[in-house]
Copies of this chain bind each other. A is one copy, B any other.
Amino acid sequence: VYLVGAGPGAADLITLRGWALIATADIAVVDALADPALWDGLPIEIVPAGKRAGDHGMAQDDIHAALIALARAGKAVVRLKGGDPFVLGRGSEEALALAAAGVPCVVVPGVSAAFAAPALAGIPLTHRGVADAFTVLSAHLADGGPALPPFDPRATLVVLMGVANRALWLPALAGLGYPADLPVAWIEWAGRPHQRVLRTTVAHAAVAADAFALKSPAVAVVGAVAGLPPCGVEAP
């Protein structure tokens, strides 16, 4: 089983290695966020396993069982996951379940939306003199709110799946020392034709998300880098 990162959205942001595996596999078990253009025209069977709001897709244990059964049936299996398999995506659980079943598994890294979404919106996560570190976390946690780091003026905070769960993390920032006027950027549908970028502040990030009816998938960038001029794209 090849655990392949599909990249942040657009089909041509997968790696050459990942694409070559899709082109030669018998079957792919795919997340909802993966772009169907990735397998368009290829002689490959597709098993949708993805979760989206309101639709939980396959349970994690069922995904493990399916991967193990397909591999034991002699199929060349690709498990295609959005972004990178080992960044907040439960890929390591799948790898360990396969290992426990004696099924060989190889990981192919992908471009994570954690930094590609900001990059596609013209926002670097680090910039000399502004930020030289960044923290990535998901606001979508089963056991309550995320472990937000205390404010560090030299570090950027990237929050994945932060729109639907904005009440879980945005109100906590002030108590952790984040200034009310610190820049925040929301990036919705990064890299897709309908990408939207919303530049706001800690104080106004929730109201702005409401006002523009932001939806998942969206990435939030919190920190001074979100206030730089757009880097490497035309200004929206």
Alpha-carbon gap, A99 to B7, bound state (A): 27
Mark interface residues in A117-153 (1 if CB within 8 Å of B CB, else 0).
0111011111110001111111001000011011010
A77 to B138, CA, bound (A): 36
The answer, yes or no, to whether A68 is at the interface (CB within 8 Å) is: no
User: Which chain B residues border A109 with CB–CB below 8 Å?
Assistant: 8, 13, 111, 115-116, 119-120
Q: Which of A202-236 contact B (CB under 8 A)?
A: 225, 228-234
Taking CB atoms, residues of chain B closer than 8 Å to A19 are: 16
Partner pick for A92 among B93, B98, B134, B232, CB 8 A cutoff:
B232
Q: By the criterion CB–CB under 8 Å, are A96 and B229 in contact?
A: yes
Question: Is A165 engaged at the interface, CB distance under 8 Å to the other chain?
Answer: no
Contacts of A11 in B (CB 8 A): 16
A168 within 8 A of partner (CB): no
Any chain B CB within 8 A of the CB of A31? no
Count of A interface residues, CB-CB < 8 Å:
72
Q: Flag if A127 contacts B16 (CB, 8 Å).
A: no
Q: Does A20 contact B (CB under 8 A)?
A: yes
Q: 1/0 per residue A87-107: CB within 8 Å of B?
A: 111111101101100001111
Q: For A16, what are the chain B residues with a Cβ–Cβ distance below 8 Å?
A: 11-16, 19
Known contacts A86-B115, A232-B3, A152 near B154 by CB under 8 Å: no
Determine if A163 is an interface residue (Cβ-Cβ < 8 Å). Answer: no
Task: Across the interface, name the chain B residue whose C-beta is closest to A84.
Answer: B115
CB of A82 within 8 Å of the partner chain = no
Interface centre among A92, A120, A154 (most CB of B within 10 A): A92
Is B107 touching A232 in the complex (CB atoms < 8 A)? yes
Considering the complex, give the chain B residue whose CB is closest to the CB of A89: B126
CB pair B17 A15 closer than 8 Å = no
Given A137-B133, A149-B135, is A119 in contact with B86 using a C-beta cutoff of 8 Å?
Answer: yes
Given contacts A7-B15, A127-B93, contact A105 B135 (CB under 8 A): no
Q: Are B133 and A93 in contact (CB under 8 A)?
A: no
Known pairs A99-B231, A99-B232; list 4 more (Cβ under 8 Å): A8-B109, A96-B231, A126-B138, A147-B154
